[in-house]
């Protein structure tokens, strides 16, 4: 009886036509140019449509553009925009809108952290440094957009799929810096912003002007910072889709939820970096020994435990080589001896990571492996995130540090460029002219396949890092929801999903 | 007249306290490693400089301080650094009422249950002993343990209440957070009330009432309880503070968009503007709460007035 009364008082929770999505932390901004967090980007892909997007099979496909021609020298991109491209206020999406929006993204005053992604555009780097040089973006016709690059970039199209290249119309950002309010924000995506309670929920409703109306009318994004609590809310039926699952619970949740648990390899890697500027770590044989001594299978099976793949290469999906444990450890000892060390003279090495329970467990396991195989003692140091980022970047006190990389788009260059000599994110201090040349070649796309594998081999051979595993994306999806598909970048546009019973009798399973 | 003077004195003291707080916050934030713009991204120098200039991060301490004060007096606390789409005063206006409402409800709930229970068992030695032991045990249970247990029982097993979230128009979302906040306070109050009741029973007016042959019930409710309550007021201040700080945990666990969450997140994100805004708000609430408690105490307890 009580239960019936209470349920009657509960109207808005998991109501039939609203998709309730867990979305991790509060989005930092819904301004496509300022947003940095993954949670914001997930929502932005519902609110705006860039020229191209990356689909689940890893291809770049046309979105707001209906066609694209690339000049033979790879420098000029001419986009034909869709004739039925409409903003949420009903107005046509024009080339002029894209031009104005890209110019805004490249204005330092906008504060676009991702602006650097647009650097291939001729004039963009100068703009980002505050020089008002002409920018090579033209809108010769209402629906024709022409962009020219300073050098050919094979990944340029994919870069245009990022939020920083989404078309914020001028009439919107002229409203002031904070145009991202319900009722004000004008997007060209499948949904429009209708409610935003910071730290709680963001509600989107179907954009009636979008060329293909989204099947689900309303989407409510919930801030879910704690995975364990998100799981409880999913179990209680308050969420249709979770952002993640708590670490190490895949097996249990598989039994409980069966195929409602979706785990897929993500285009993201977890590795340890060596600070090569530290005298203790200058010895390549020592670095190789430390890498060989780690049993990736144990880490992924018993510590992260959510389907992560052991990783031996720099790039995600690099072929997993399973080496016999005894042979690997013998090899590690041999390299350790070659480095001039013995068990008695083993050095003490610092392993630094950002504070988290999983990182701590990984650190303890790695320390145990190093001690057991080589006799190396490990000083585990943890720092809260912002301090850790600074220590790692400054590279003064770090020795071995935790690192991870989520591909912004699917191109190996994403994982290779941070190791080039003058890259601001190169925390290892790895500097190799040959590697730099190879990566530059990968970027232009000329004979890329060979350049990629040579660059990767060079980096591995130098032992500048210890690849550990490839991340997975993990979601629980309610049985009411159909159309959810694994995506290597974990992009899940709400418009791709629908309630299974929505079309009579049609069920995916 | 005397009242006005005291109020003015209070206000001046509050202002000085808040000034010192702001200065200390700014200094601490400058000293702490890692800033709001330290992320895993490669941010172009000019972009970084533009953002720093927007927030006055490039200014020397004294200028930063005076600029902050000037804006604060105009009621502008600036945009949050982590959530640039919002001004700090907006975020506080959304979050503070939630925290205050939940805190007040929790206080009322704790008081409303602790007083009758204390009155009922004050005369029963066995019940008293049980209450003392129970209190100790319950006080040792941290909120981040209590909350998931309540969720497990009331949301997952019984399916009566939502497991998280908050909405003003859905009072059911308030129930578990308020219960979690109130429970530890209830036990503190119960313990204090019982002890104070025991002490009050020995006081001469109560002994006199007993000597007149009033029923034990009447002795407790009419004579001992008012005395005990007056003694208990002193604990309200600390309880209110505990509710404000404790809300950080509860808000995190239940996904409630309150002030406590912002406080924690702003510190972790080095969100200078938001952090100072939250600290000042919490400090102001605390000072006002203490002031109200003292005033109430004087109203109820003539002895305090004599001292004042």
DSSP state of A82: P
Least confident of A169-183, A337-351, A491-505, B63-77: A491-505
Average pLDDT for residues A28-46, to the nearest whole number?
A: 94
CB contact under 8 Å between B39 and A36, yes or no, is: yes
DSSP state of A79: E
Domain that holds residue B12: 2-73
> Which of B42 and A131 is assigned the larger pLDDT?
A131
Average pLDDT for residues A194-223, to the nearest whole number?
A: 94
Q: What CATH number does the domain containing B199 carry?
A: 1.10.3720.10
Confidence of residue A226 (pLDDT cuts 50, 70, 90): confident
**B141-174 pLDDT, tens per residue?**
777 778 878 877 887 778 787 777 787 878 888 8
Give the pLDDT of residue A2: 44
pLDDT of A132 higher than 80: yes
> Which of A285 and B226 is assigned the larger pLDDT?
A285
B47 and A CB contact within 8 Å: yes
Average pLDDT for residues B234-262, to the nearest whole number?
A: 80
Least confident of A255-259, A431-435, A437-441, B117-121: B117-121
Give the pLDDT of residue B209: 80
- pTM listed for this prediction: 0.87
Q: Is A437 exposed, middle or buried (0-12, 13-18, 19+ CB in 10 A)?
A: middle
Backbone angles phi, psi at A14, to 5 degrees: 45, 40
For residues B104 and B184, membership in a common domain is answered with: yes
Q: Is B274 exposed, middle or buried (0-12, 13-18, 19+ CB in 10 A)?
A: buried
Q: Which helix or strand (DSSP H or E) is residue A387 part of?
A: helix A385-394
Q: Which residue has the tokens 């974990």?
A: A490
With beta carbons less than 8 A apart as the criterion, state whether B103 and B256 touch: no
C-alpha to C-alpha distance for B181 and B281, rounded to whole angstroms: 20
**A264-303 pLDDT, tens per residue?**
999 999 999 999 999 989 999 999 999 999 999 999 999 9
C-alpha to C-alpha distance for A479 and A509, rounded to whole angstroms: 9
Average pLDDT for residues A13-34, to the nearest whole number?
A: 85
C-alpha to C-alpha distance for A156 and A48, rounded to whole angstroms: 19
B257 and A CB contact within 8 Å: yes
With beta carbons less than 8 A apart as the criterion, state whether A339 and A289 touch: yes
Give the pLDDT of residue A49: 96
Select from B46, B73, B100 the last residue of a domain: B73
Angle between helices B88-121 and B125-140 in degrees, nearest 10: 160
Which of B91, B160, B255 has its CB closest to that of A224? B255
Of chain B, the end-to-end C-alpha distance in Å amounts to 15
Give the pLDDT of residue B243: 76
Select from B15, B42, B73 the last residue of a domain: B73
Give all domains of chain A, ordered by start, each with its CATH number: 12-224+479-502 (3.40.190.10), 266-471 (3.10.105.10)
> Which of B229 and B301 is assigned the larger pLDDT?
B229
Select from B43, B73, B103 the last residue of a domain: B73
Residue B209 counted as domain residue: yes
How many angstroms away from the CA of A328 is the closest CA of chain B? 33
Least confident of A10-19, A51-60, A387-396: A10-19
B133 and A CB contact within 8 Å: no
Q: Where are the beta strands (DSSP E) in chain B?
A: none
The total number of structural domains in chain B stands at 2
pLDDT of B62 higher than 70: yes
The token pair that represents A273 in the structure block: 């970096």
pLDDT of B239 higher than 50: yes
Give the pLDDT of residue A503: 54
Q: Which residues on neighbouring strands pair with residue A265, listed in sequence order? A: A472
Q: Which of A128, A77, A68, A69 is nearest to A103 (CA)?
A: A128
Give the pLDDT of residue A9: 41
Interface A–B counts its CB contacts (< 8 A) at 163
Residue B81 counted as domain residue: no
pLDDT of A11 higher than 60: no
Least confident of A240-249, B4-13, B85-94: B4-13
For residues B149 and B61, membership in a common domain is answered with: no
CB contact under 8 Å between B170 and A385, yes or no, is: no
> Which of A346 and B1 is assigned the larger pLDDT?
A346
Give the pLDDT of residue A467: 94
**B279-307 pLDDT, tens per residue?**
988 888 888 888 887 777 777 666 666 55
Coil, helix or strand at residue B258 = coil
The token pair that represents A427 in the structure block: 């925390």
For residues B172 and B243, membership in a common domain is answered with: yes
For residues B171 and B261, membership in a common domain is answered with: yes
For residues B100 and B19, membership in a common domain is answered with: no
Average pLDDT for residues A471-482, to the nearest whole number?
A: 95
Give the pLDDT of residue A385: 87
Averaged pLDDT score across all residues of chain A: 90
pLDDT of A16 higher than 70: no
Average pLDDT for residues B230-236, to the nearest whole number?
A: 76
Question: What percentage of residues in chain B have a pLDDT greater than 70?
Answer: 96
- Looking from the CA of A215 toward its CB, the CA atoms found within 13 Å total 17
With beta carbons less than 8 A apart as the criterion, state whether A234 and A35 touch: no
Give the pLDDT of residue A275: 95
Confidence of residue A253 (pLDDT cuts 50, 70, 90): very high
Pick the residue from chain A with its C-alpha nearest to B175: A6
Pick the residue from chain A with its C-alpha nearest to B33: A387
How many angstroms away from the CA of A198 is the closest CA of chain B? 7
DSSP state of A106: T
Residue B143 counted as domain residue: yes
Residue B103 counted as domain residue: yes
**A322-336 pLDDT, tens per residue?**
678 899 999 999 999
For residues B126 and B265, membership in a common domain is answered with: yes
Residue B213 counted as domain residue: yes
CB contact under 8 Å between A229 and B35, yes or no, is: no
For residues B259 and B125, membership in a common domain is answered with: yes
Average pLDDT for residues B102-115, to the nearest whole number?
A: 88
Give the pLDDT of residue B25: 86
Q: Which residue has the tokens 């957009």?
A: A145
In whole angstroms, how large is the CA radius of gyration of chain A?
25
How many angstroms away from the CA of A78 is the closest CA of chain B? 27
For residues B189 and B107, membership in a common domain is answered with: yes
Question: What percentage of residues in chain A have a pLDDT greater than 90?
Answer: 77
Average pLDDT for residues A375-387, to the nearest whole number?
A: 91
Least confident of A233-237, A484-488, B146-150: B146-150
CB contact under 8 Å between A116 and B40, yes or no, is: no
Residue B78 counted as domain residue: no
Residue B80 counted as domain residue: no
Average pLDDT for residues B168-197, to the nearest whole number?
A: 84
Of chain A, the end-to-end C-alpha distance in Å amounts to 35
pLDDT of A12 higher than 50: no
The token pair that represents A354 in the structure block: 């950002």
C-alpha to C-alpha distance for B74 and B69, rounded to whole angstroms: 9
Angle between helices B172-201 and B143-151 in degrees, nearest 10: 130
Which of A6, A389, A425 has its CB closest to that of B172? A6
CB contact under 8 Å between A386 and B35, yes or no, is: yes
Q: Where are the beta strands (DSSP E) in A289-334?
A: 309-310
B149 and A CB contact within 8 Å: no
For residues B10 and B127, membership in a common domain is answered with: no
For residues B248 and B276, membership in a common domain is answered with: yes
Backbone angles phi, psi at A216, to 5 degrees: -95, 130
Alpha helices in A208-309 (DSSP H): 227-235, 250-257, 284-292, 296-298
Give the pLDDT of residue B303: 66
Q: Which of B158, B234, B271, B211 is nearest to A198 (CA)?
A: B271
CB contact under 8 Å between A232 and B85, yes or no, is: no
Coil, helix or strand at residue A221 = strand
**A141-175 pLDDT, tens per residue?**
999 999 999 999 999 999 999 999 999 999 998 87
Give the pLDDT of residue B304: 63
For residues B101 and B138, membership in a common domain is answered with: yes
B153 and A CB contact within 8 Å: no
How many angstroms away from the CA of B122 is the closest CA of chain A? 33
Pick the residue from chain A with its C-alpha nearest to B270: A386
B191 and A CB contact within 8 Å: no
For residues B162 and B303, membership in a common domain is answered with: yes
**B65-76 pLDDT, tens per residue?**
888 888 888 888
CB contact under 8 Å between B159 and A198, yes or no, is: no
Q: Which residue has the tokens 């810096």?
A: A177
How many angstroms away from the CA of B35 is the closest CA of chain A? 7
> Which of B157 and A343 is assigned the larger pLDDT?
A343
Query: Within 10 A of A218 (CB to CB), how many other CB atoms are there?
Result: 18
pLDDT of A103 higher than 90: yes
Identify all chain B residues contacting A112, using CB atoms and an 8 Å cutoff: 47
Residue B24 counted as domain residue: yes
Average pLDDT for residues A235-248, to the nearest whole number?
A: 92
Identify all chain A residues contacting B151, using CB atoms and an 8 Å cutoff: 229, 232
Confidence of residue A5 (pLDDT cuts 50, 70, 90): very low
Identify all chain B residues contacting A11, using CB atoms and an 8 Å cutoff: 170
């Amino acid at each position: 009886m009580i239960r019936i009364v209470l349920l009657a008082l509960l109207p808005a929770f998991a109501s039939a036509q609203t998709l309730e999505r867990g979305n991790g932390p509060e989005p930092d901004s819904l301004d496509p140019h300022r947003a940095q967090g993954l949670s914001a980007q997930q929502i932005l892909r519902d609110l705006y449509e860039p020229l191209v997007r990356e689909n689940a099979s890893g291809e770049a496909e046309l979105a707001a553009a209906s066609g694209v021609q690339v000049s033979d020298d790879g420098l000029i991109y001419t986009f034909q925009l869709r004739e039925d491209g409409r903003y949420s206020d009903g107005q046509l999406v024009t080339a002029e809108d894209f031009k104005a929006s890209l110019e805004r993204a490249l204005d330092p005053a906008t504060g676009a952290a991702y602006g650097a992604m647009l650097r291939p555009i001729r004039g963009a780097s100068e703009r980002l440094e505050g020089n008002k040089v002409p920018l090579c973006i033209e809108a010769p016709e209402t629906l024709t957009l022409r962009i020219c690059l300073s050098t050919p970039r094979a990944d340029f199209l994919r870069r245009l799929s990022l939020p920083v290249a989404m078309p914020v119309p001028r009439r919107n950002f002229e409203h002031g810096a904070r145009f991202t309010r319900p009722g004000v924000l004008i997007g060209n995506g499948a949904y429009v912003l209708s409610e935003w309670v910071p730290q709680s929920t963001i509600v989107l409703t179907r954009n009636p002007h979008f060329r293909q109306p989204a099947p689900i009318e309303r989407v409510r994004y919930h801030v879910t910072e704690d995975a364990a609590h998100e799981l409880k809310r999913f179990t209680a039926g308050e969420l249709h889709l979770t952002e993640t699952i708590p670490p190490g619970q895949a097996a249990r949740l598989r039994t409980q939820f069966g195929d409602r648990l979706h785990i897929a390899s993500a285009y993201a890697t977890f590795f340890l970096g060596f600070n090569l500027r530290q005298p203790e770590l200058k010895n390549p044989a020592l670095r190789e020994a430390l890498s060989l001594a780690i049993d990736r299978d144990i880490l992924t099976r018993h510590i992260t435990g959510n389907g992560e793949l052991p990783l031996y290469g720099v790039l995600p999906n690099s072929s997993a080589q399973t080496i016999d444990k005894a042979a690997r450890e013998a090899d590690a000892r041999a390299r350790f001896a070659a480095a001039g060390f013995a068990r008695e003279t083993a050095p003490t090495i610092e392993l630094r990571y950002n504070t988290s329970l999983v990182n701590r467990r990984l650190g303890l396991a790695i320390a145990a492996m190093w001690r057991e195989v080589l006799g190396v003692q490990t000083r585990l140091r943890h720092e809260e995130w912002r301090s850790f980022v600074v220590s790692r970047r400054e590279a003064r006190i770090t020795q071995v540090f935790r690192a991870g990389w989520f591909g912004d788009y699917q191109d190996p260059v994403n994982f290779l460029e941070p190791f080039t000599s003058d890259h601001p994110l190169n925390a290892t201090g790895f500097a190799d002219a040959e590697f730099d040349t190879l990566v530059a070649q990968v970027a232009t796309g000329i004979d890329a396949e060979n350049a990629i594998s040579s660059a990767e081999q060079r980096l591995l051979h130098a032992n500048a890092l210890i690849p550990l595993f490839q991340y997975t994306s993990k979601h629980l999806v309610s049985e009411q929801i159909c159309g959810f598909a694994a995506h290597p970048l974990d992009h899940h546009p709400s418009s791709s999903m629908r309630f299974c019973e929505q079309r009579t009798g049609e069920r995916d399973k | 007249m005397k009242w006005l003077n005291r109020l003015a004195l209070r206000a001046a003291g509050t202002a000085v306290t808040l000034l010192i707080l702001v200065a200390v916050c700014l200094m601490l934030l400058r000293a702490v490693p890692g800033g709001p713009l330290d992320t895993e991204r490669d941010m172009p120098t000019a972009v970084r400089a533009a953002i720093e200039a927007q927030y006055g991060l490039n200014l020397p301490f004294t200028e930063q301080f005076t600029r902050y004060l000037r804006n604060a007096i105009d009621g502008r606390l600036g945009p949050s650094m982590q959530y640039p789409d919002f001004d700090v005063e907006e975020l506080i206006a959304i979050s503070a009422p939630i925290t205050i409402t939940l805190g007040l409800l929790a206080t009322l709930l704790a008081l409303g249950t602790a007083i009758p229970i204390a009155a009922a068992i004050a005369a029963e030695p066995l019940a008293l002993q049980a209450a003392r032991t129970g209190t100790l045990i319950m006080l040792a249970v941290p909120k981040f343990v209590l909350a998931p247990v309540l969720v497990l029982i009331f949301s997952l097993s019984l399916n009566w209440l939502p497991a998280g979230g908050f909405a003003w128009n859905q009072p059911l979302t308030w129930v578990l957070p308020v219960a979690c906040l109130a429970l530890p306070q209830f036990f503190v109050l119960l313990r204090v009330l019982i002890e104070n009741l025991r002490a009050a029973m020995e006081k001469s007016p109560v002994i006199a009432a007993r000597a007149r042959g009033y029923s034990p019930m009447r002795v407790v409710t009419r004579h001992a309880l008012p005395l005990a309550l007056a003694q208990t007021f002193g604990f309200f201040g600390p309880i209110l503070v505990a509710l404000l700080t404790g809300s950080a945990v509860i808000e995190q666990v239940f996904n409630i968009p309150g002030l406590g969450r912002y406080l924690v997140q702003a510190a972790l994100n080095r969100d200078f503007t938001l952090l100072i805004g939250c600290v000042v708000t919490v400090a102001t609430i605390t000072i006002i709460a203490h002031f109200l408690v003292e005033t109430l105490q004087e109203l109820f307890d003539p002895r305090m007035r004599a001292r004042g």
